[in-house]
């Protein structure tokens, strides 16, 4: 049996390759992919050639073993159906709808312990958001919002929007967001932000500070999330945070560099920069939490938020190159882009 697999082969070049699918071994199953979600953050760094070459792709995910270098199969949000079983696998798996952290390809073999059956009532269009929901849960855990706090989220891509949706469930005094694209700002308001601002406006930072009720140099947001993917936004985060404010950096910048002003408000304001990344949990949570518990929360939040409304574009796998060009050249038109596999 053959499959089509998407490869990143050079900056701004992807191609589909025909590959033979291995037979599932003991404890493994063959999955036919239905949908996969494109990450407009991590994947676009790889698409543009901005990833740190030679770095491990993701040592925690078996299907992403290897290094960040071309040619590369990458992707981590696949939903499919089990269509064949390896020796010793319970027959209940046959026909099961499953989620996998797997690259974009029409079929794949995986161990059953690396698959998650879709809960009742969760459609593939919802499940494809699971990795981003888990990331948003992780960001909120690391930020530790407190009742009555003033919070700002910089960047309203998919992860930023889901983070906003979670924060909107807290009894905050103010929740503001910033994004350059009107489509995303409106989605932010729909998800519960109290106000959303365009960072390209000359007075954007002053307007956000006014909205927060900042009264002096040391006042500002209690908590700021930087999830825009732009290291330049760190200066905005510092300008918005108040004395002893927490700045959670959820963006992965890859090879992008930008000078950051740490000599003024940051220095005098005793601000805290917190690195947040979903591969691990903060050590402070290790006594009561593990990744399995966090994933259970992510499934529950996914069912409650129903993020499939963020899908703006669907492309058949054969037109994957168009999907990446859209995200690269016209990001203002898209939020979540999904690849569909049909009978591939």
Q: What residues does each domain of the chain span? A: 2-128+308-340, 132-283
Are 105 and 3 contacting, i.e. CB atoms less than 8 angstroms apart?
yes
Three-state SS at 17: strand
Topology match between the domains 2-128+308-340 and 132-283? no
- Section 207-228 average pLDDT: 95
Confidence grade of residue 55 (pLDDT, cut at 50, 70, 90): low
What would the two tokens of residue 54 be?
Answer: 């030679």
Which residues fall within 8 angstroms of residue 88, CB to CB, at 6 or more apart? 26, 27
| Alpha-carbon span 261 to 307, nearest angstrom | 36
| Alpha-carbon span 106 to 101, nearest angstrom | 14
CATH superfamily of 132-283: NAD(P)-binding Rossmann-like Domain (3.40.50.720)
What would the two tokens of residue 87 be?
Answer: 């020796």
User: Tens digit of pLDDT for each residue in 115-165?
Assistant: 999 999 899 999 999 999 999 999 999 999 999 999 999 999 999 999 999
DSSP 208: H
User: Tens digit of pLDDT for each residue in 73-116?
Assistant: 999 999 999 999 999 999 999 999 999 999 999 999 999 999 99
Class of domain 2-128+308-340: alpha beta
Q: Is the peptide bond before 71 cis (omega within 30 degrees of 0)?
A: yes
């Amino acid at each position: 049996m053959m499959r089509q697999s998407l490869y990143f082969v050079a900056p701004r070049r992807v191609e589909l390759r025909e590959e033979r699918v291995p037979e599932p071994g003991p404890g493994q199953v063959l999955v036919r992919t239905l949908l996969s979600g494109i990450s407009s953050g991590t994947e676009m760094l790889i698409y543009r050639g901005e990833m740190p070459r030679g770095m491990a792709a993701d040592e925690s995910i078996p299907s992403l073993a290897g290094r960040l270098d071309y040619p590369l199969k990458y992707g981590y949000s696949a939903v499919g159906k089990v269509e064949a079983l390896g020796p010793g696998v319970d027959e209940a798996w046959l026909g099961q709808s499953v989620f996998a952290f797997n690259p974009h390809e029409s079929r794949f073999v995986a161990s059953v312990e690396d698959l998650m059956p879709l809960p009742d009532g969760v459609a593939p269009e919802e499940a494809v958001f699971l990795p981003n929901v888990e990331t948003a849960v992780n960001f909120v855990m690391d930020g530790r919002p407190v009742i009555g706090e003033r919070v700002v989220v910089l960047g309203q891509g998919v992860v930023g929007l889901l983070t906003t949706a979670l924060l909107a469930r807290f009894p905050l005094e103010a929740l503001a967001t910033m994004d350059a694209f009107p489509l995303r700002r409106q989605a932010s308001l729909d998800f519960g932000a109290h106000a959303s601002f365009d960072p390209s406006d000359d007075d954007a930072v002053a307007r956000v500070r006014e909205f927060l009720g900042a009264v002096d140099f040391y006042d500002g947001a209690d908590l700021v999330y930087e999830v825009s993917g732009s290291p330049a936004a760190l200066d905005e985060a510092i300008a918005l945070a108040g004395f002893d404010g927490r700045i959670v950096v959820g963006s992965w910048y890859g090879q992008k560099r930008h000078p950051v002003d740490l000599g003024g408000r940051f220095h005098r304001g005793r601000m805290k920069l917190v690195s947040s990344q979903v591969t691990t949990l903060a050590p402070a949570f290790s006594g009561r939490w593990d990744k399995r518990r966090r994933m259970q929360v992510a499934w529950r939040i996914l069912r409650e938020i129903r993020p499939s409304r963020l899908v703006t574009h669907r492309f058949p796998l054969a037109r994957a190159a168009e999907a990446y060009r859209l995200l690269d050249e016209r990001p203002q038109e898209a939020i979540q882009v999904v690849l569909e596999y049909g009978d591939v």
